[in-house]
Structure formats: C-alpha cells, structure tokens
C-alpha cells in the first residue's frame, strides 16, 4: 500500500468522520486524513459546507422557537382559515 492509499479513504468514510467530529474530537491522524481528503475532494467540501449550514439553521430555529411556546393563537388562526 503506498502512502496516498494509506492517507486517503472513501467519501463515505470522510462524511462519517465529519459527522463524528461534531460530537467528539478526532485523533490527530484521523483529523489530518480528513483534512487531506476534503482538500482534494470537491464533493466532500460541498457536503461539509451544506452540513454546517443545516446545523446552523437548526440551531437558530431551536433557539427562536422554544418548545414551551403557547400555540393556542396559532391554532385558532389555522382553524379560522379552514
């Protein structure tokens, strides 16, 4: 196995590591492998950007809409439009 094969892994493995990295820090080697893969793979760069955007939007949505929000006015409004 040459050095490039040892450093590179599949896009599936790269995206798995990207998601794993959000919860737990990766080892130095895995982090370097992921960075190398993303530097060379436009598909995974796009995935990383889109995943970050989705996370940002979900976080924003959760903070502006607390679960305890009173929805009775919204419910009445919807019923009135039916």
Which residues contact Zn ion (rule: CB under 5 A)? 11, 14, 41, 43-44
**Which CB atom, from 43 or from 58, has the smaller least distance to Zn ion?**
43
Q: Do 34 and 21 contact (CB within 8 A), yes or no?
A: yes
In whole angstroms, how close is the CB of 82 to Zn ion at the nearest point?
48
Q: Which H or E element spans position 63?
A: helix 42-64
- Residue 66 CA, chain-centre distance (Å), reads 22
In whole angstroms, how close is the CB of 54 to Zn ion at the nearest point?
18
Q: How many CB atoms lie within 10 A of CB 33?
A: 19
Q: Do 7 and 33 contact (CB within 8 A), yes or no?
A: yes
In whole angstroms, how close is the CB of 58 to Zn ion at the nearest point?
23
**Which CB atom, from 1 or from 39, has the smaller least distance to Zn ion?**
39
**Which CB atom, from 12 or from 80, has the smaller least distance to Zn ion?**
12
């Amino acid at each position: 196995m040459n050095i490039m094969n040892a450093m590179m892994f599949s896009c599936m493995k790269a995206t798995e590591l990207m998601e794993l990295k959000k919860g737990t820090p990766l080892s130095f080697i895995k982090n370097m492998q992921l960075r190398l893969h993303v530097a060379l793979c436009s598909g995974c760069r796009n995935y990383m950007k889109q995943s970050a955007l989705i996370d940002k939007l979900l976080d924003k949505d959760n903070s502006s809409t607390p679960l305890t929000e009173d929805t009775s006015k919204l419910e009445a409004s919807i019923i009135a439009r039916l």
